[in-house]
Amino acid sequence: MGYARSKPTESNSSLEPFQEKNTLFPARFFASTVASIPSLEVNFVYIVDDDMIPGKKMLQILSHVSGIEKYKNSVLGNIGRILPFRQKDFSFPSYRKFLSNEAGLYLPDPAYDITVHKMVQVDFLSSSWFLSAELVKALFIETPFSFTTSEDLHLSYQLHKYRNAGSFVLPVDSTDKETWGDSEHRLAYVSKTTVIFKDIVQVRDEQWWRAQTTGYVTQWAAMYPQKIDAFLYAHSVDEVRALAPLLENFKSFVGKKTYIVVFGGNFCPCDDVAIALNWPKSVCKERRFKIFDLQIGALSGTWNSEVPILQAVYSSLKGLIKIHNPGVIITVTDIDPNVKKALKMASEMNPNGTALVLLPRPSVSKVLWMADLRSTALQNEIPISFNMDSKVDEATIKLIDSFQWPRGPKTFRRRIIQGGLIRAVSESWYPTSNDDYGLLLEDDIEVSPYYCLWIKYALLAYHYDPQVSLPYLSSISLYTPRLVEVVKERPRWNATEFFKRIHPNSPYLHQLPCSWGAVFFPKHWREFYVYMNMRFTKGAQANPVQIPNSRTNGWQASWKKFLIDMMYIRGYISLYPNFPNQASFSTNHMEPGAHISAKDNVVQHDKANFEVPLLVEDFRTLLPNRKLPSASKLSSLNLFNQPVSLKGLKAAGAKLGQDVLRCNNATEIVTVDHITGLPLRCSKFT
C-alpha cells in the first residue's frame, strides 16, 4: 500500500510514495486515512495490492485523469467489476457461484477477450485504487459489513452513497506495458479470481445485496431505471403494522409494484417486519425486491445529534428513489421528525416527481383506494391563506392570528382599500405551477373531515391518471346543490334520484361551477383571470355574454357569473359528489353577506335549500363498487341540469358565438395559452 502526496513546486507538482506493510482488507484503507490529516498535506492516496506491479507511467496517468473535471470526485483503478443483472424471475444471481464462472462482468478479462479502450464506470474496483485523501474517509461512515473481505465493494458503495462519487476503470495501451495497472497482468489472466471460497462468496453476496437495497445505484440500476407505484416507509415495527393494510391492498392489484422500506437495525429488524406482515422470514434473505432494510444501525459511532440519522435515511432513500422512481412515498404523520425531513428532502430530489404523503394512523384503513389508482403523485402539504378586506374587524383578525394549521404554511392578506366580493375571491389565489390548486372557501363554509380525501382521490382518478383525458374538467366541487339556481323558478333537484338508474351515488359532471366549496384547476383559473379582466362590466346588461334562459344574465357583483359565462362558451365542466340527502364535503351556513340577506337582493334564500349535511363516514363505501367510476362512465349535465354530452356542451357554447374571439359557430371554440391564460386561436372541437 502507498500514499501519493502532492508536493507543489514553482513549475510542477510531484508525487512522493510512502510504503506500508500489507495490513489486509479494510485495515489497509483505515491506515490510509492518516493521509487526510491536514498537517501531512496529502492530496491523493494510491492503494495497491501486493500482487500488483503498476507500470512506470501509471501514476502519471492517474494524476492526470484525476485532474479532469468529470473525474475529480471519483476513485480510479485498473480492474473492476459490474455486478450481476436481474434475471427473468426477478431475482439477482450470486456474485459468484461456488466453483462456477457465473458472475457479473470482470473488466478487463482477457479470458473472455474483454479489454478496456475508454473510461468505464463500474460497480467497484479491485486490486488498486487512486482517489483523493478526503474521499478515503467515506469508507467508515458505515461500519463495514465484514473485516475479512468486501472492502473494495464497500468503498465504492460508500463513495457513491455519501459523496456521489463514481468508480472508473482506466483504459490502457495494449502495446505499452508502462501504462498498465499491473505490468504482468497476472490477475487479469486468471480464469478464477482470488475469491473462490464458499464462505467468502456468501459474505460478498450479502454485502453487495445490502448495498443495492440501501441505495447503491449499480450499473444495472443505471441502465434499467425502474418505475414503481409506491414506497411505504416504516420507522418501527408498529408503523409497519399501521401501514400493512395499505401495502396488502397495493399488492392485491395485478401490475402494481409497491415495496416497504424500513429503518432496520435493532430498532426495526427485517425478521420482525416480515412477521408483522405475515410474510415468511425468508424474504429477508432472498435477493428479490420486497423489503428494503436500510440497516441504519450500521452507522459508525454514537448518535449525539439527529444528523447521522437524517443523513443515512436521506442518502439511502435518494438512491432507492433514483433506482425505482416511485410515484409516492407513504408514511405515517407521527413519524420521527428527522426521518420526515430526510424523506421530504429525498422525494424533492427526484426530477421525475415523487410525492411524500403523510397519513394519520387511523386514516390508513380509509385510504385503501389509493392502491386502485394509476397515479399517486400528489403533494401532501396544504398551505392556507386568509384573505381579508379592509373593513375586517378586530375579533376576526385575532381569531385568524391564533388559528393553528399543521398541514403547511399559513399566510394573511389584507386589503388597504375595500375590494368587494368579486376582487376578494378572484384575486385571493393565483397558481404558481400546473400542480398548484386553489380550494376557495368563503367565511360561512364548513367542510367535512373527508374533504381532503375527496379532493385527492378525485384529482388522482380524473386528472393525474395517465390513461384519463378530461381536459375540460376545470374544478372539483365539495358541495352537492339542491336547487337548479340558474332558472327563474329555482326548482329543487335531487342528484341521487336523478341518477338512480345508473347508480344513486355516482359522481357527475356539471357545467355549473360551485362557489360553496370547490377546488379550481391552475390552467383554467389563469384563463378565468384573463377572461374576467377582458369582460368585466359593472352593469349586467352591458355584459356581451347572454346565455339563453339563464338567470345569471342579470346577476350583479358576482365573480361566479363570469366563470359561468366562460365555462358555458368554452364547454368546461366541474365534478360533483352525489350522496344520500345531498350529504357533501362542504356546506353553506347562509350567513348574511354580499348576496345572502342583502338589501338589494329580492331573492329569498331558504336555509333548508342550501345547508346540506356533512359527510362524517368513509364515503368510499357509498361509491359504485366502492370506488370512483371510470371517467368514461361519468354523466354530464349542462347549466340547466339537463343530460348533454361533453361534445354537446362545446357545441352549445360555440353556437352562442359570444367569446372574446370570433370563431366558427358550428365547429370551433377558443383555446388559450395555459401559462398566461391569454386566448390564442379558434380550434375545432371533437
Helix (H) or strand (E) holding 126: strand 124-126
42 assigned to some structural domain = yes
More confident residue, 180 or 596: 180
The residue among 678 and 112 whose pLDDT is bigger is 678
pLDDT at 557: 74
30 lies in some domain: yes
At 537-551, the pLDDT tens digits run 777 677 889 999 999
Which pLDDT score is estimated for 301?
47
555 pLDDT more than 90:
no
Q: Are residues 496 and 627 in the same domain?
A: yes
Do 175 and 261 fall within a single domain? no
| pLDDT(1) > 70 | no
pLDDT recorded at residue 43: 83
Residue 424 belongs to a domain: no
Query: Residue 162 domain-assigned?
Result: yes
Tell me the three cell numbers of residue 393.
Answer: 374587524
In this structure, the answer to whether residues 193 and 231 fall within a common structural domain is no
What's the DSSP call for residue 33? G
Q: Quick one: 657 and 578 in the same domain?
A: yes
% of the chain surpassing 90 pLDDT: 37
- Give 615-618's long-range contacts (Cβ < 8 A, gap of 24+): 615/448, 615/449, 615/450, 615/579, 615/583, 615/584, 615/585, 616/448, 616/449, 616/450, 618/366, 618/450
- Assess whether pLDDT exceeds 50 at residue 454: yes
Q: What is the pTM of this model?
A: 0.65
Structure-block grid coordinates of residue 342? 430526510
Using CA atoms of 574, 578, 583, 587 in order, give the dihedral in degrees to the nearest 10: 10
Pick the last residue of a domain from 330, 356, 372.
372
Do 188 and 306 have their domain in common? no
477 and 607 both lie in a single domain: yes
Q: Cell numbers for 463, please give them.
A: 386528472
Last residue of a domain, one of 372, 389, 424: 372
Per-residue pLDDT of 117-174, as tens digits, reads 899 999 988 888 999 888 887 777 877 777 777 788 888 888 888 888 999 999 888 7
Q: What is the C-alpha to C-alpha distance for residues 345 and 329, in angstroms, rounded to an integer?
A: 12
Q: Which residue has the higher pLDDT, 48 or 600?
A: 48
324 located within any domain = yes
User: Is 327 within a domain?
Assistant: yes
φ, ψ for residue 440, nearest 5 deg? -100, 120
CATH code at position 366: 3.40.50.2000
DSSP assignment, residue 252?
A: T
Residue 205 lies in a domain: no
CATH number at residue 106: 3.90.550
Tell me the residue type at 653: G
The predicted structure's pLDDT at residue 170: 92
User: Rounded to an integer, what distance in angstroms lies between the CA atom of residue 310 and that of residue 272?
Assistant: 23
Which of 372, 390, 422 terminates a domain? The answer is 372
One domain, residues 229 and 346: yes
Is residue 419 a contact partner of residue 427, using CB atoms and an 8 Å limit?
A: yes
Give the mean model confidence (pLDDT) for residues 424-429: 87
Residue 23, pLDDT score: 45
Please report whether residue 381 resides in a domain. Answer: no
Q: Is the pLDDT of residue 11 over 50?
A: no
- pLDDT, mean over the chain: 83
Nearest to 133 by CA among 2, 315, 10: 2
Domain that holds residue 267: 225-372
Instruction: Check pLDDT > 80 for residue 40.
Output: no
The answer to whether the beta carbons of residues 455 and 514 sit under 8 Å apart is no
If pLDDT is split at 50, 70 and 90, which confidence band does 431 have?
very high
Q: Each residue of 645-683: b (16+ CB within 10 Å) or e?
A: ebeebbbbbbeeebbbeebeeeebbbbbebeebebeebe
Rounded to whole angstroms, the Cα distance separating 259 from 251 reads 9
Asked whether residue 471 falls in the same domain as residue 538, the answer is: yes
DSSP assignment of 47-94, as one string?
EE-TT----TTHHHHHHHHHTSGGGTTEEEESEEEEPPPP-TTS----
In the chain, pLDDT over 70 holds for what percent of residues?
85
Q: Which three cell numbers stand for residue 520?
A: 379550481
**Domain co-membership, 356 together with 463:** no
According to the model, what pLDDT value does residue 260 have? 94
**Domain shared by 170 and 238, yes or no:** no
Provide the domain count of the chain: 3
Are 145 and 206 a contacting pair, CB within 8 Å? yes
pLDDT of residue 247: 92
**Confidence check: pLDDT of 194 > 60:** no
Do 301 and 232 share a structural domain?
yes
Is the domain of 443 the same as that of 564? yes
* pLDDT for the residue 539: 72
